[in-house]
Amino acid sequence: MTAPTASSPSGSTGAGASVTPTVTGPSAPALSARGVTLAYEKTVVFEGLDLEIDEGRITTLIGANGSGKSTLLKAFGRLLAPDAGSVELRGRPVKSMATREVARQLAILPQKPLTPSATTVRDLVSRGRHPHQSLLRPWTPADAAVIDEALAATGLSELGDREAGSLSGGQLQRAWIALVMAQQAPIILLDEPTTFLDLSHQLDVLGLVRSINRQRGATVVMVLHDLTLAGRYSDRLVVVGGGRVIADGTPWEVLTPAVLREAFDLEALVIPDPSSGTPLIVPVDPDAMGRAAEAE
């Protein structure tokens, strides 16, 4: 697993990093899937998929259960090898890159990371520095400073000596994000980072993700289930389903009644969120509509 050891639309076909990004060409995307075929448990999920992820934006993958969102994220994170085609990291085939080199450029936080037993929060976060260590470069005071910064940014400075397993769900998720921050990878992949969190902690975590993107210039690719939150915290949405990209663009371009009907079999109204101005999804209650029609 690559660490946790971890606006305008962009077409689907078409900075706290401690290392200088490797870029092939003047406009190489952060990540690319080129003619990619992905299968999970012998079931083909995508065939011949082309998708590019632009630098410096928050791109969120959405789709119905089983649509392949997490499968695609794993392929981008080199956790799943394509059956055909190529996944590229800044213009280079990721399969040809050394693991440590990938980990310096890309961090991935899986949906259910396994928290090591008897590990303090600080020790957990310090694992984000592993890609930067070697026999020629042991632990330095600069690494400790990065850990302190990550703990402070996630509001965990006072909990550094606590056992990670004793944290609440929201605190633990922030600890994992602190690990990703300590890794200082310019590209971050997050698989359902708000799973099992109450709404308050979901907003807290997504606000932190947006802060990492805005303040550090990190490229973020997320998988989210909540469509309204996806619309609020993303620059770009990519809707997948049926082995293809159904829609790709800004939240207002993507979250339309027609797309929701096709991708989620959901009848819904899409209105401006009074708080953020982003799309708010309001599912239609067919029984209520029937009662209203009868009342007329």
Q: How far apart, in whole angstroms, are the C-alpha atoms of residue 207 and residue 189?
A: 16
Q: Residue 170: what pLDDT?
A: 87
Q: Residue 21: what pLDDT?
A: 39
The pLDDT tens digits of the residues spanning 174-233 come to: 899 999 999 999 999 999 998 888 898 899 889 999 999 999 999 999 999 999 999 999
Split at pLDDT 50, 70, 90, the class of 73 is very high
- Joined together, the tokens standing for residue 142 give 């600069």
Does 8 reside within a domain?
no
293 has a pLDDT exceeding 70: no
What backbone phi and psi angles, to 5 degrees, belong to 158? -80, -10
7 has a pLDDT exceeding 90: no
Span 67-89, average pLDDT: 94
Q: How far apart, in whole angstroms, are the C-alpha atoms of residue 296 and residue 293?
A: 5
Beta bridge partners of 103: none
Q: Residue 295: what pLDDT?
A: 56
* Pairing between β-strand 58-62 and β-strand 43-53 as defined by DSSP bridges: unpaired
* One-letter amino acid of 12: S
The CA–CA distances, whole Å, from 50 to 34, 79, 247 equal: 5, 18, 13
Does 160 reside within a domain?
yes
* One-letter amino acid of 114: L
In the chain, the number of structural domains is: 1
Structural domain boundaries enclosing 237 = 31-295
Q: Residue 117: what pLDDT?
A: 80
Does 3 reside within a domain?
no
Strand positions, DSSP E, the chain: 31-40, 43-53, 58-62, 84-89, 92-93, 106-109, 187-191, 219-223, 236-241, 244-249, 268-272, 279-283
Question: Cβ-count burial of 132 within 10 angstroms (0-12 exposed, 13-18 middle, 19+ buried)?
Answer: buried
Does 18 reside within a domain?
no
DSSP 40: E
Does 4 reside within a domain?
no
Question: Cβ-count burial of 39 within 10 angstroms (0-12 exposed, 13-18 middle, 19+ buried)?
Answer: middle
Range with the poorest average pLDDT among 3-7, 109-113, 115-119: 3-7
Q: Residue 291: what pLDDT?
A: 54
Span 272-281, average pLDDT: 96
For residue 195, the surrounding DSSP H or E stretch is: none
Does 55 reside within a domain?
yes
Question: Cβ-count burial of 123 within 10 angstroms (0-12 exposed, 13-18 middle, 19+ buried)?
Answer: middle
**Which carries the bigger pLDDT value, residue 117 or residue 144?**
144
Q: What is the CATH number of the domain that holds 125?
A: 3.40.50.300
- Joined together, the tokens standing for residue 81 give 């090898």
The pLDDT tens digits of the residues spanning 139-151 come to: 788 899 999 999 9
Q: For residue 68, is it left (φ>0), alpha (ψ between -120 and 50) or beta?
A: left
Q: How far apart, in whole angstroms, are the C-alpha atoms of residue 225 and residue 64?
A: 8
